[in-house]
Amino acid sequence: MEKIKVGILNVSGYAGVELARLLVCHPGVQLVSVTGRSTAGKKLAEVFPHLAGLTELVIESELSDVDFAFAAMPHKESAPEVIKLIERGTKVVDISADFRLSNPADYDEWYGFTHPSPELLDKAVYGLPELYRKDIAGADLVANPGCYPTGAILAMAPAVKYGIAEDDIIIDSKSGLSGAGRTLTIGTHYAEANEDTTAYALKGHRHMPEIAQELSFLGEEVVNVTFVPHLVPMTRGILSTCYARLRDEFVTKEDMQAEITALYKDFYKNEPFVKVVDAPPHSKNTWGSNICHVYPFIDSRTGRLIVVSSIDNLIKGASGQAIQNMNIMSGFAEVTGLDSPPIYP
């Protein structure tokens, strides 16, 4: 099979360089073009020495002609570039938030800009393969999910889909500092972040409407989401703990734990990257992989469903999932280039 020519817009961020690392070893593609603003003109392996010997690419200011593009740009900046690529007939996976929300007004409220192409929002497919695989296969534009939404939605999707839990969900997520990106801020200085944990965006995180949108699409009612993210002093990984009250008809069942575990395992039985596990996962259980671990638990004392999920925010939460989407869109086996197991320790 002839390899498809692939490019990356903004290779110099964490998601962009993870894409490069994974794509240079992908058997079905040839990484031919990468862009970056401050790093243009330099060799990719010079800027990122861990890629030495794997690529001779030079970072460009403009993307050359490619069959498939990944946009790893910040929100608001990504949409104009993606629009140009789609107009050229190039298939795109956008890692930014610019095509994830179906309501254009949400971009004014949550991201502070007016979306430049509301009509393209209707054509973009939300890129969570476990829910939208068939739609992704025929798409020209896929909106890669956010890192927090990936872990949270995969944790709660079976419960919402089958109406086990009430429509008021609390999500508590802990993320490594790489989720904040490479741009330095006071909160990501080593001396500030080390030995410190903090909750942030309590008035509303931008990923909250994305989580609520997708969970509401799954069920029969609009889902009310309370989402509180935290930064913890680790490099990568997201651990999400989700809480929802069981519906009354399920509270009194004798062996609800076995039933919910079986339901989750059946829901994800054919999913190569979601594993329903038998003990609460650690963030390091999925480190370096495209895998999501999910652990559902019934608190019989309070009548609550508790679901814990773990992902690597830079892989299943960003670049790995983007390649998973590319594989589906391009007719490759879904696990191609992504079948490495997690790293331990």
What local confidence, expressed as pLDDT, does residue 291 receive?
A: 98
> Does a structural domain hold residue 160?
yes
Q: Tell whether 236 and 297 lie within a shared domain.
A: yes
**Within a 13 Å sphere around the CA of 296, how many CA atoms are in the beta-carbon half?**
30
What local confidence, expressed as pLDDT, does residue 102 receive?
A: 97
Q: Tell whether 288 and 205 lie within a shared domain.
A: yes
Q: Domain with 273 in it: what CATH number?
A: 3.30.360.10
Query: Each residue of 263-296: pLDDT tens digit?
Result: 999 999 999 999 999 999 999 999 999 999 999 9
Q: Tell whether 117 and 228 lie within a shared domain.
A: no
What local confidence, expressed as pLDDT, does residue 38 receive?
A: 87
Q: Tell whether 152 and 119 lie within a shared domain.
A: no
Q: Tell whether 115 and 152 lie within a shared domain.
A: no
Domain's final residue, options 70, 88, 123: 123
> Does a structural domain hold residue 97?
yes
Longest dimension (CA), the chain: 65
Provide the number of structural domains found in the chain. Answer: 2
Q: Tell whether 232 and 280 lie within a shared domain.
A: yes
313, 319, 325, 327 alpha-carbon torsion, rounded to 10°? -130
Give the active site residues. 147
Q: Tell whether 182 and 247 lie within a shared domain.
A: yes
Q: Tell whether 308 and 161 lie within a shared domain.
A: yes
> Does a structural domain hold residue 129?
no
CA distance 46 to 57: 10
> Does a structural domain hold residue 143?
no
What local confidence, expressed as pLDDT, does residue 47 receive?
A: 97
Q: Tell whether 82 and 25 lie within a shared domain.
A: yes
The parent domain of residue 96 ranges over 4-123
Q: Tell whether 283 and 244 lie within a shared domain.
A: yes
What local confidence, expressed as pLDDT, does residue 2 receive?
A: 84
> Does a structural domain hold residue 134?
no
SS3 300: coil
What local confidence, expressed as pLDDT, does residue 290 receive?
A: 98
Q: What is the mean pLDDT of each run of 10 residues along the chain (345 residues)?
A: 93 97 97 95 97 97 97 96 97 98 97 96 97 98 98 98 96 96 87 95 96 95 97 97 94 88 98 98 98 97 97 98 98 97 95
Q: Count the neighbouring beta carbons within 10 Å of the beta carbon of residue 153.
A: 28
Q: Tell whether 119 and 152 lie within a shared domain.
A: no
> Does a structural domain hold residue 79?
yes
How long is the chain? Answer: 345
Q: Domain with 86 in it: what CATH number?
A: 3.40.50.720
